Every structure is written in C-alpha cells, then in structure tokens.
C-alpha cells in the first residue's frame, strides 16, 4: 500500500493505491499562454491568482506550478509564484521546471513537502535533481525516458522507471516518494498508446509498487472532441492502477469522470464524496436533511 504524502504548511494530500485519485491542476503554466507569460514576466500574478482559486474550487487537490518563460529570471518568478499560491490555498504543490536553479529556488521558499516535477533517467538530470529532492525532503516525478529518448516499448519504459527508483534509493529517497510518469503518447499518433499505458501502469503498480502520474491533457491531441477522449482516459487509466494526474480540472466533465472512477474503483467509501459533490439541492432546508438521511445507505 504505497502512500506518497505531500503537504503544505497546514494540509496533507496522500497519493496512494487505496486513496481517491489525486488531480494536480496544470493551469499555472505560461507555456503556450501569451498573456500569462507577459504578465508573469513583469511580476503581475493576477491571472495566477485566478487560476489557483478556480482549480481548487473545481476539485484539484494539488496544483502544479511552472514559470518556464524564455529569457526571464525563472528562479525568481517561480519562487514568487509559489509564495503567492501558498498564500491563497493550502493545497500542496508540484514544483515544475527543467532548470535546476528554479527547482531549488522554489523548494527553498516552499512550505511543506513538495512534489518535484521532474527527473528523467538521463544521468545528468538524475544527478542534479535527486540530491535536491533529498535535501528538501520532497517527492519526485520520475519520467520514464533516458538519453535515447522515449521507448515505444512499454516494458522498456518499465525498466527505465525501475532504474530511477533504484537511483533515488541510492540518494536516500524512498520508493514511495518516487511517482512514476509512464509517458502517455497522443492516441491519434500512436494507436496503441492507451493499451501501452494501461499495461505499463499495471506493472508499475503490481511489480514496482510505485504511485503513478501523467500529463493527461495530451492523449487526445490532434483529434476532434478531444476532451471526451480525456474524460474516458482518466477513469480507464485509474482502473488500470494510476493514482494521480496533472490535468485541467476546469475541462467540462473531467472532474465528475474522475470522481465516478473513484466510486467504481472502491476508493470512495459509501460513495460519500460523490454524494457530497452531486447531491441535488432541494428547495426546503428541512427536505435536504430528510433526503440526506434517506440516501445515507445508498
């Protein structure tokens, strides 16, 4: 029963085999967002503020924070963004950068136990990221590719994930603090992308016994009605054993699809979270009480 415990100053979230699926909001990321890029670059975080509150209100238990802006002072902007976000929500954060100085600046100001996003199995990356993860007592996303790129063979991706878990152990990082990203290819480009990731997630869970995550928004890339692809993908991959994902909780239907997955995977005892989220309001205050009692036994 692998449990990855993340925290803010005042709150904990557990990614785990018997826990509800953890939704990590992806919106605080300037990549491909011109306005946000321009604003963050000049220190205007009003949009970050809105994205923080909206994602948490939509159901995200954690937020990913990325400040990857070309030619900007990324360490400074990432640290400022993290401080702002932590002042607005007690959701634990994933600190997302490919620049080691930015990760360190973020970790230095972070209150609680963060998720570092990410390391790959590339030698140089592991040897820079893993010591930081250990130093700040964080957890880390392990992306299953190496110097040679991304293998099309999911079993090779399994071996690469295993290598990162072992290297993390060498640095004193426990298996439960490594959350593997098996890499989800766009299904429009790679027809076996779904089956591959279901197979790989199952192996990661049963054999390597690690938690898993993925960037979920790209699976439908290039296809029409792509959000509907996502809304089926998330409960399916959760059924295969995935325990968290980085996603946009504001996309229509995605949060109910994932919460229904929790119900069906048996990780929402007595459907309590589901009923709390979707119970229809009744006109009478008293009626609500009566109805609540009546429904309690499902």
The reply to whether 218 sits near a second copy by the rule CB under 8 A is no
Which one of 106, 182, 249, 261 is in contact with a second copy (CB under 8 A)?
A: 261
Q: Tell me the number of residues near a second copy by CB under 8 A.
A: 47
Q: Which of 147, 166, 209, 222 is the binder for a second copy (CB under 8 A)?
A: 222
Distance between CA atoms of 294 and 297, rounded to whole angstroms?
Answer: 7
Task: Compute the distance between CA of residue 236 and CA of residue 254 in angstroms, rounded to an integer.
Answer: 12
Nearest approach, Cβ of 275 to a second copy (angstroms)?
A: 6
31 binds a second copy (CB under 8 A): no
Q: How far apart are CA 271 and CA 73, in angstroms?
A: 46
- Pick from 32, 283, 285, 298: which binds a second copy (CB under 8 A)? 298
As measured in angstroms, the least distance from the Cβ of 238 to a second copy is: 8
**Should residue 282 be labelled a site residue for a second copy when binding is judged by CB under 8 A?**
no
283 binds a second copy (CB under 8 A): no
- If one asks whether residue 231 binds a second copy (CB under 8 A), the answer comes out as yes
Stretch that binds a second copy, among 47-55, 87-95, 124-132, 260-268 (CB under 8 A): 260-268
Report which of 63, 134, 70 is spatially closest to residue 102, judged by C-alpha positions. 70
Binding a second copy by CB under 8 A: which of 109, 232, 251, 288? 232
Give the range of 63-71, 148-156, 160-168, 222-230 binding a second copy by CB under 8 A: 222-230
Q: Of 90, 271, 273, 288, which lies in the binding site for a second copy, with binding defined by CB under 8 A?
A: 271
153 binds a second copy (CB under 8 A): no
Answer yes or no whether residue 223 interacts with a second copy by CB under 8 A: yes
Nearer to a second copy, 117 or 231 (CB): 231
The rounded distance, in Å, linking the Cα atoms of 237 and 245 is: 10
Closest separation in Å from C-beta 253 to a second copy: 7
**Rounded-to-integer distance, Cα 26 and Cα 140, Å:** 16
Query: Which of these ranges, 39-47, 64-72, 81-89, 265-273, lies near a second copy under the rule CB under 8 A?
Result: 265-273
Q: Work out whether 253 is an interface residue with a second copy (CB under 8 A).
A: yes
Q: Binding residues for a second copy, per CB under 8 A? A: 186-189, 191-195, 198, 219, 222-225, 228-229, 231-233, 235-236, 238-240, 253, 256-261, 263-266, 269-271, 274-275, 278-280, 295, 297-298
């Amino acid at each position: 029963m692998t449990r990855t415990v993340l925290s803010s100053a005042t709150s904990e979230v557990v990614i785990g085999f018997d826990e509800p699926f953890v939704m990590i909001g992806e919106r605080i990321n300037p990549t491909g967002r011109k306005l946000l890029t321009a604003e963050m670059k000049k220190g205007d975080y009003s949009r970050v503020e809105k994205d923080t509150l909206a994602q948490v209100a939509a159901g995200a238990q954690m937020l990913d924070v990325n400040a990857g802006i070309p030619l900007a002072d990324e360490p400074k902007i990432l640290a400022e963004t993290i401080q702002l976000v932590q002042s607005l929500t007690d959701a634990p954060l994933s600190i997302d950068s490919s620049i080691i100085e930015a990760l360190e600046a973020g970790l230095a100001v972070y209150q609680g136990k963060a998720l570092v996003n990410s390391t790959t199995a590339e030698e140089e990356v592991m040897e820079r990221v893993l010591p930081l993860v250990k130093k700040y007592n964080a957890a880390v996303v392990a992306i299953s590719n190496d110097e040679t790129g991304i293998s099309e063979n999911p079993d090779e991706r399994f071996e690469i994930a295993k290598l990162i878990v072992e290297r993390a152990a060498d640095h004193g990082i426990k298996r439960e603090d490594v959350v593997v990203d098996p890499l989800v290819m766009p299904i429009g480009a790679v027809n076996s992308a779904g089956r591959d990731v279901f197979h790989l997630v199952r192996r990661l869970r049963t054999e390597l016994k690690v938690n898993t995550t993925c960037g979920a928004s790209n699976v439908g890339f290039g296809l029409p009605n792509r959000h509907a692809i996502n809304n089926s993908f998330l409960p399916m991959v959760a059924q295969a054993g995935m325990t968290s994902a980085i996603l946009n909780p504001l996309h229509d239907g995605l949060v109910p699809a994932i919460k229904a997955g929790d119900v069906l995977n048996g990780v929402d005892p007595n459907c309590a979270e589901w009923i709390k989220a979707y119970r229809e309001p009744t006109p009478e205050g008293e009626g609500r009480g009566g109805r609540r009692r009546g429904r309690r036994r499902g």
